[in-house]
Structure 1
Amino acid sequence: MKVLIVYDSRTGNTEQMAFAVAKGIEKNGLEAVLRKVEEASVDELPKVQALILGSPVYYGLPTGRIKEFIDESVKYHGKLTNLVGGAFCSAGGTHTGSETTILALLESMLVHGMIIQGYPHGNHYGPAAVGVPDDKALEHCEKLAERVANLVKKLNQ
């Protein structure tokens, strides 16, 4: 089973988080397909069991390149139902739009009928880092991956 991880990163912070997510996916027995957004294709979506999106925060929202990927996914509207989804982001400071960015990513997944699992013990929507991700932020990325992997396994038994 495969998990597509698509991310944008201009400073390397979101990329570090994406690597941690991929590590967590593989640690939990699934294949991580890691793609920078400019190398990603929406045509990979029907071939995976989960999609995790990562973006820096730009003006309280995901980057334009991530939004473009989401917009292109319209060709699979109605065909991604029950795909598992998740999201993460990095921001330049506290209170600069981490939650709104993650929620924007998750909203697009919900429009597709994807399944999102929250987390009741903090980082409810998904991991967010401020600046360079510290060990705690990277641990949260691996926890997101674990939740996604476990849900994929349950749904595909």
Structure 2
Amino acid sequence: MALWDRIKESAQTMQAQLEAKKNDLKSGAFRDASMAMCALVAAADGSIDPAERQRVAQLIISNDVLQNFPADDLRQRFEEYLGKLTSDFDFGKVTVLQEIAKVKKKPTEARAVIQIGIVIGGADGDFDATERAVVREACFSLDVPPTEFDL
């Protein structure tokens, strides 16, 4: 199986697992951590071009699990976190990882946030090294072993 096919299959598997837990993923902390994760993956290389921003925003809006929340609210939070990352990536990353860590005490939510990062990163068929690295960092901030997700 080609690498692209494995990445796509992994993202689809993660999405199916998320959908199975949709009713457990309705807290504000999960919403915020998810948007922080989306922004972190989108800006993993330190910048984000308009096409990538639009692609991630579309994935957020169309994600069945994230439809538990108003789309405008998600967009606002995503843009806020992206702004922090694009103005000063290193400092912004600290802030965003702190937001992600707020779901640490809820294992279902913590793992779901990691899965969202993988779904977003793998949606284009190229879950690249920088995206994998930031999702791995998020695992550490959530006390979730990266090996659980083959990171």
TM-score range, shorter chain: 0.3 to 0.5
Larger RCO (CA under 8 A, 6+ residues apart): 2
Structure having the higher helix fraction is 2
Structure having the higher strand fraction is 1
The TM-score normalised by the length of structure 2 is 0.38
The TM-score normalised by the length of structure 1 is 0.37
